Amino acid sequence: MPRDPERSVTARLRRLLAPDDEIDAASTRAASEKAGCDTICAITDRRKVSLRGYVSSMVLHPSSAPDTVEADLFDGTGTITLIWLGRRKIAGVRPGTRLAVTGFAAHRGARRVMYNPRYELVGEIDEESEEQG
């Protein structure tokens, strides 16, 4: 069945005029779906999940605080806070890093969290847009 050229042009214009955060969310969501991962918006408590996204922010704790690394992972559908206990830093994990993580999802207050997830560095967020371009 031939594609409707008008629809294709309209879709392209929407993508061109969309805000950067919407474009990032859509491409991150697509990469996660392509990898067969769960989505953050659909996970429930106490269930093992596999997620893929990028680190949108990190929390730096003072030296007087317990050793923890906290990073927010965004997959295009939502955000989950990854918490590694007993560590001060993790080589390669910083804002903009793409990660694949596996672990048990939980809630801490109103936030979704995952403690001590297994992780794999997948790349940087800029590399994803280069691959698609």
Looking up residue 64, the CATH number of its domain turns out to be 2.40.50.140
More confident residue, 105 or 131: 105
Do the beta carbons of residue 97 and residue 85 sit within 8 Å? Answer: no
User: What distances in angstroms separate CA 12 from CA 6, 35, 67, 95, one per listed residue?
Assistant: 10, 24, 47, 29
Q: What is the number of H-type helices and E-type strands within the chain?
A: 3, 6
| Per-residue pLDDT tens over the stretch 16-27 | 555 555 666 667
The answer to whether 5 and 12 have CB atoms below 8 angstroms apart is no
pLDDT at 6 over 60: no
Higher pLDDT, 45 or 14: 45
Q: What is the pLDDT of residues 63-109, one digit of tens each?
A: 899 999 999 999 988 999 999 999 999 999 999 999 999 999 998 88
Residue 60: name the closest of 47, 70, 72, 48 by CA. Answer: 70
How does 4-16 read in b/e, with b if 16+ C-beta sit within 10 Å? eeeeeeeeeeeee
With beta carbons less than 8 A apart as the criterion, state whether 122 and 99 touch.
Answer: yes
Mutual angle of helices 125-132 and 20-34, in 10-degree steps: 80
pLDDT of residue 129: 47
Note down the domain range covering 91.
5-132
Number of domains in the chain: 1
